[in-house]
Chains A and B, each alone.
Chain A
């Protein structure tokens, strides 16, 4: 018996040992205990932060219950997104169809909660019984005057990535519906930041300081009105490219808005994110401000990081996150703390991301796509990792084996983006890796 499932070996590469290209963007192998969720999950996490919209999950109760207030995506105003609405389909609805229930549920909710827009998420069962969600949405839009947007996110129709696409399709129906807006001189949209732990507010402050206005963030601290007018921006700045690239590309095609891929994690990438925008607008004043901001921040940050670096120098890290683009930033950020990445993987990375990871990581580093608890626990043991960076599902693997852990996923409570985020990251890594409790765990 091989150590790992045979069908998965092409999705694991050890740098310097394996010659094959890392396979990715495949469906998860049945029975592999993948850390991925489903199409619905992809859509739900992307649209969830739109705070003045009503999000209704059309399906049995589980899909809504498991995604109630699931992300730490903060809103500066409305909090409607934090309520979990579901049609809670029962057996008789499955037999006779759920359209009527959907219609009456939404009629009431729209009347009572007066949302700016509604997203209806289709789940597996809706796809099977064939409810015409689009027709119900059209009818409700007509009757209530509130934009009701179907999200075709039936769970079985692909992977989490297809869910991103379904969410982007729904968003694109809203983009461009307010054409009267007059944008400021230097305006951008931020795509793919979800304002976890208030991170968007940190970024917005930076951009404001260099003289750039944000029209809309898709979707962190999101508002329906901002989405409607975001086609007036001069540039789309895309983070979490896995989820938002569709919108960026469509806006390029439809509205001729260029886009740039950036990341806000770590000093290097954060600085580049500001320079890229400044370069785009080709205004020396803007660039000067960006340079001033970066050098000011770095002058403060580097000495502040030093004590943590001293403690963390030479420690090894494992990374397993949703998208591989973020992993690239994390490898660099860890390096800044003197740490080496020995395992790195993601749920939904693409070929380019993984190629870059292979280039920037050291020999012996394990690179993995769509991994599972068995593989991950083996990798961290065999590489002797001291730290695991991941989400809730990876946390118990780390703790069980006596490793430090840093939550870099939906539920993080510490802002990790921006310059201040780099310091928070160092503090969190230090607090976990250097805790005295690990001495009680006998690591063989």
Chain B
């Protein structure tokens, strides 16, 4: 009989990270690039970075995820990686005929000081008469800074800064949904369309990372926001961004010019005067109401009946199921913006969040949690910069009734013999991670049913007689 995975009895803080509750920056950057039409991400670093990130994403999305690497060698590490980057771009163009190449840096290329902007300009100049040369965009995503979320939002900002230009005012609305599931993106697009809003979504990987089956291999999956649309962002009438944290936190040890805009929406507001609305990721009724009201205000249209019906049914479900979830103690973990939104939702259904934990370290998590969780906000233990082993040890002491977070926390729930509600990213041990619903009334409906049913199942399975009715 195998031993259990060792858990320490002593409780102390370690210099080392034990089972990280985050992944690295270029992973987030690559996902953001997947949301641009015809874009192939290139990770400028060692071959492993691209392959590991692909593997991690493939296990979640169950989709081919092609990310190229400039495949650093010892020579490029010493003499600079420009030649490798050029070769990589050349071969990506030959194989994929991309509309856009999106370059993410790595710890390696950042440390040796490669100037990506210059390298890309050089490539363009050297291939000036080649019509197949695509648009370029690059973002600074060294893995020693922040987490995958910083990489994601840095890249969203880079895409915005690269393509948005001064254009005439238009009727479009920019939407920066943050890192949510492909199903969430699709629901969001339906909502925007039902409001009659002409939107520009950055990024939109709803199709590129969640395709139907193919008869032939698509070198670049369909979908994504086209560059022509991205160029219109500067003339939009408003920008909506989900998430109070985004990449605005203190990036561990990072020297950042505080005067520079941080997010795509901030940049558009500062440069082109596009009004910015920032809100939580709309999970649960309170946070979704804010979105629907905002969309109604921006579009000048009433909230479509379809959604008031969804909302009504959701409240009806809350009434039917409230007792089963009330007072249950939950530990929530994952990316900061997700943790905030999820805590807001759990607070509104009567679940008591006892620990809100993230591997992110913005320094803003506590104030945001207090803001979004009026019932328990003040008593929630809020901790950033945590790893799973720390969460595990805290759980042993806190004795939660359920975990809410990605699949990496499964081993903790297994030892505690409590349910885990899988949300967010990654979902590596189940299918359907990309189809998980979190946002708007439909997302809340799915989450509420899952949590209620998990509590009922737990009770039923631990009951002496079992029962057929609730």
Contact = CB atoms under 8 A, between A and B. Distances in A.
Contacts of B217: 373-374, 377-378, 381, 397, 400-401
Interface in B246-279: 251-255
A32 B70 CA distance: 9
Contacts of B67: 33
A187 to B, nearest CB: 25
B51 A34 contact: yes
A156 B15 contact: no
Nearest to B101: A31
B26 A62 contact: yes
Contacts of A101: 15
A261 interface: no
A242 B144 CA distance: 32
Interface string B79-90: 000001101111
Contact of A91 (B18, B68, B144, B211): B144
Interface residues of B, number: 87
Contact of B42 (A31, A125, A397): A31
Given A35-B51, A68-B20, A400-B214, A374 B219 contact: yes
Given A30-B88, A124-B46, A85 B70 contact: no
B72 A156 contact: yes
Contact of A77 (B3, B19, B71, B89): B3
A444 B215 contact: yes
A61 B143 contact: yes
Contact of A83 (B5, B45, B89): B5
A90 interface: yes
Given A373-B64, A378-B217, A37 B48 contact: yes
A316 to B, nearest CB: 17
B145 A91 contact: yes
Contacts of A63: 48, 52
A61 B16 contact: no
B58 A30 contact: no
A88 interface: yes
A87 interface: yes
A109 to B, nearest CB: 6
A399 B64 CA distance: 10
Interface residues of A, number: 89
A424 interface: no
A77 B219 CA distance: 45
A180 interface: no
A78 B3 contact: yes
Interface in B65-108: 65-74, 76-77, 84-85, 87-92, 94-96, 106-108
A395 interface: yes
B4 interface: yes
Nearest to B62: A396
B16 A129 contact: no
Nearest to B27: A62
B92 A124 contact: no
A165 B191 CA distance: 55
Interface string A405-444: 0000000000000000000000000000000000001111
Nearest to A125: B107
A80 interface: yes
Given A56-B16, A66-B53, A127-B77, A397 B91 contact: no
A383 B84 CA distance: 33
Contacts of B439: none
A94 B107 contact: yes
Contact of B47 (A38, A67, A80): A38
B364 interface: no
A84 B19 contact: yes
B47 A62 contact: no
A36 B51 contact: yes
Contacts of A236: none
A79 interface: yes
B6 A79 contact: yes
B48 A392 contact: no
B50 interface: yes
B52 A156 contact: no
A68 B19 contact: yes
Interface string B29-58: 000000000000010011111111111101
Contacts of B411: 69
Interface in A46-93: 56, 59-69, 74-80, 82-93
B23 A109 contact: no
Interface string A302-338: 0000000000000000000000000000000000000
B17 interface: yes
A360 interface: no
Interface string A364-393: 000000000110011001000000000011
A402 interface: yes
B467 interface: no
B16 to A, nearest CB: 4
B16 A90 contact: no
Interface in A1-52: 1-2, 4-7, 27-41
Nearest to A380: B217
A59 B107 CA distance: 9
A104 interface: yes
B20 A88 contact: yes
A105 interface: yes
A442 B211 CA distance: 15
A153 to B, nearest CB: 10
Contacts of B3: 75, 77-79
B177 to A, nearest CB: 24
B47 A374 contact: no
Contacts of A157: 74
Interface of B: 2-6, 8, 10, 12, 14-20, 22-27, 42, 45-56, 58-59, 62-74, 76-77, 84-85, 87-92, 94-96, 106-108, 111-112, 142-145, 147, 211, 213-217, 219, 251-255, 389, 408, 411
Given A30-B91, A124-B106, A156-B74, 10 more contacts: A61-B23, A74-B2, A83-B18, A86-B17, A155-B48, A396-B62, A400-B211, A401-B213, A401-B217, A444-B216
7 contacts: A30-B84, A31-B92, A39-B46, A60-B24, A108-B12, A392-B59, A400-B213
In the A-B complex, list the 10 residue pairs whose CB atoms are closest, starting with the nearest: A38-B48, A62-B24, A31-B91, A377-B217, A31-B88, A155-B46, A105-B16, A66-B52, A60-B143, A30-B88
Interface of A: 1-2, 4-7, 27-41, 56, 59-69, 74-80, 82-94, 101, 104-106, 108-109, 112-113, 124-125, 127-129, 155-159, 373-374, 377-378, 381, 392-393, 395-397, 399-402, 441-444
